[in-house]
Amino acid sequence: MINYKDICLKVVQLSQTTGRNLKAQRNQQAPEAESKGKNDFVTQFDKDTEAKLIDALSQLIPNSGFIAEENTSDKKGVTHNWIIDPIDGTTNFIHGLFPWCISIALMENEEMVVGVVYEAGLDECFYAWKEGGAYLNHKKIVVSERPTVADSLIATGFPYTNFNLMDQFIESLHFFMKNSHGMRRLGSAAADLAYVACGRLDAFYEYDLKPWDVAAGALIIQEAGGKISDFSGGDNYLFGREIIASNSLVYDEFHTKVSRFLK
């Protein structure tokens, strides 16, 4: 059995070192974007960073596998699999805009046990391990205590390849703009989730996300006292491509409102 705390703290160091180096490289050389599809971009920085992370994480847990955005490794672990996004917020990264994050999670069988999100702009590392609480740069964090949607600052992400629910999504934006403290769209789901975990945001929802966008952040929110689900209130948020996240007090109302528009 692995020591979740020990593994987590080593991943924190890895993500900080990797992220700081990546930020320095980005400042010296503007990335050239390649298109993976409509509005879906990748850079050589993404590919190189993912390869380096996979190499380092393979040494931490030698028999582990990987679920990674750029498919640098297709190895599957029997018990342990890393879920990696080398740059969450690639479009921000390309344009020299923050936030963008490195997101790393460890899944043991079907359960998340380690989550680390490093946000480069503010040099902030959010992390958690199973039953260990959640932290930001070594200080414990908890979700906010705002009890109603009317009191909440809410984040979302705009769809960029799947527009099947666009009309319903716009209706939800219209409602939350009029009935909350406001809406934010940061361009990085990993950052959105991390900010819910530390109380900067009170709630977040988005559809058509991938496992590497949400795995680490979801665990950090849960360990910070928040709640995560898919739009129906179930637990298929990792592979189901839809997620609701909030503090525990506002969750029921927020879920009801989101599911009213996005079913």
CATH number of the domain enclosing 194: 3.40.190.80
Of 89, 110, 141, which residue constitutes the final position of a domain? Answer: 141
- Kindly report the backbone phi and psi dihedral angles of residue 11, in degrees, each rounded to the nearest multiple of 5, phi listed first: -70, -35
| Active-site hit among 90, 202, 206, 242 | 90
Kindly state whether residues 172 and 128 are assigned to the same domain.
Answer: no
Q: What is d(CA 170, CA 95) in angstroms, rounded to the nearest whole number?
A: 25
Q: For the chain, how many structural domains are there in total? A: 2
- Provide the whole-model pTM: 0.94
Q: Is 246 helix (H, G, I), strand (E, B) or coil?
A: strand
Distances (CA, A) of 83 to 61, 73, 175, 191: 13, 11, 34, 16
Tell me whether residue 208 is one of the annotated catalytic residues. no
Burial of 216 from C-beta contacts in 10 A (0-12 / 13-18 / 19+): buried
**Residue 28 belongs to domain spanning:** 4-141
Tell me whether residue 244 is one of the annotated catalytic residues. no
Tell me whether residue 85 is one of the annotated catalytic residues. yes
Q: Would the pLDDT of 38 be above 70?
A: no
Q: What is d(CA 66, CA 56) in angstroms, rounded to the nearest whole number?
A: 12
pLDDT per position as a tens digit, 60-110: 999 999 998 776 777 788 899 999 999 999 999 999 999 999 999 999 999
Tell me whether residue 102 is one of the annotated catalytic residues. no
pLDDT per position as a tens digit, 193-207: 999 999 999 999 999
Kindly state whether residues 166 and 89 are assigned to the same domain.
Answer: no
Kindly state whether residues 9 and 135 are assigned to the same domain.
Answer: yes
Report which DSSP code applies to 151: G
Of 141, 163, 198, which residue constitutes the final position of a domain? Answer: 141
Q: What is d(CA 217, CA 193) in angstroms, rounded to the nearest whole number?
A: 5
| Active-site hit among 85, 108, 119, 202 | 85
Q: What is d(CA 88, CA 101) in angstroms, rounded to the nearest whole number?
A: 5
| Active-site hit among 88, 108, 119, 242 | 88
Q: How many residues in the chain? A: 263
pLDDT, average across residues 255-260 = 96
- Kindly report the backbone phi and psi dihedral angles of residue 202, in degrees, each rounded to the nearest multiple of 5, phi listed first: -100, -25
Of 106, 141, 176, which residue constitutes the final position of a domain? Answer: 141
Kindly state whether residues 83 and 181 are assigned to the same domain.
Answer: no
How many contiguous H segments (helices) and E segments (strands) does the chain have? Answer: 7, 14
Q: Where are the alpha helices (DSSP H) in 82-236?
A: 90-95, 166-178, 189-197, 211-223
Kindly state whether residues 29 and 134 are assigned to the same domain.
Answer: yes
Kindly state whether residues 54 and 117 are assigned to the same domain.
Answer: yes
Tell me whether residue 90 is one of the annotated catalytic residues. yes
Distances (CA, A) of 107 to 2, 65, 225: 12, 10, 20
| Active-site hit among 54, 83, 87, 102 | 87
Q: Is 12 helix (H, G, I), strand (E, B) or coil?
A: helix
Q: What is d(CA 168, CA 99) in angstroms, rounded to the nearest whole number?
A: 27
pLDDT per position as a tens digit, 110-166: 999 999 999 999 999 999 999 999 999 999 999 999 999 999 999 999 887 778 888
Kindly state whether residues 91 and 31 are assigned to the same domain.
Answer: yes
| Active-site hit among 70, 108, 202, 213 | 213
Quote the pLDDT of residue 160: 74
- For residue 257 the two structure tokens come to 């409102």
Kindly state whether residues 97 and 12 are assigned to the same domain.
Answer: yes
Tell me whether residue 50 is one of the annotated catalytic residues. no
CATH number of the domain at 60, please.
3.30.540.10
Q: What is d(CA 245, CA 202) in angstroms, rounded to the nearest whole number?
A: 8
| Active-site hit among 43, 49, 54, 69 | 69
Kindly state whether residues 182 and 130 are assigned to the same domain.
Answer: no
Kindly state whether residues 188 and 250 are assigned to the same domain.
Answer: yes
Kindly state whether residues 121 and 158 are assigned to the same domain.
Answer: no
